[in-house]
Amino acid sequence: MANHKSALKRIRSNESKRLRNKYQHKTTRNAIRRMRELEDKKEAQTLIPSIYAMIDKLAKKNIIHKNKAANLKSGLQVKINNL
């Protein structure tokens, strides 16, 4: 267990940040999953900017690696182009 006041605060703040990151990551994964299930090209094209923004935010906050973000975005674009 932590011995310093600052260490106790760090434990509390890390837990809240972990939960926030987990929520954002899971929300993005669900959005990507819904996007991959779509069959309508117009609907997919309207959703893609918001999903790209979500992926970029995760990469910016180092929740996912920037190369993984690029691969996800590329894969989604390929999926849309093939609809």
DSSP assignment of 42-64: HHHHHHHHHHHHHHHHHHHTTSS
Helix (H) or strand (E) holding 41: helix 41-60
Q: How far from 35 is each of 19, 26, 32, 79, CA to CA, in Å? A: 24, 14, 5, 9
pLDDT at 3: 86
Average pLDDT per run of 10 along the chain, which is 83 residues long? 90 96 97 94 94 97 97 96 91
The reported pLDDT for the residue numbered 83 is 87
> What is the predicted pLDDT for the residue at 40?
92
Domain range holding 28?
21-32+41-83
Q: Per the domain annotation, does 12 fall within a domain?
A: no
pTM as predicted: 0.87
| 63: in domain | yes
In a domain, 78, yes or no: yes
Position 10 scores a pLDDT of: 95
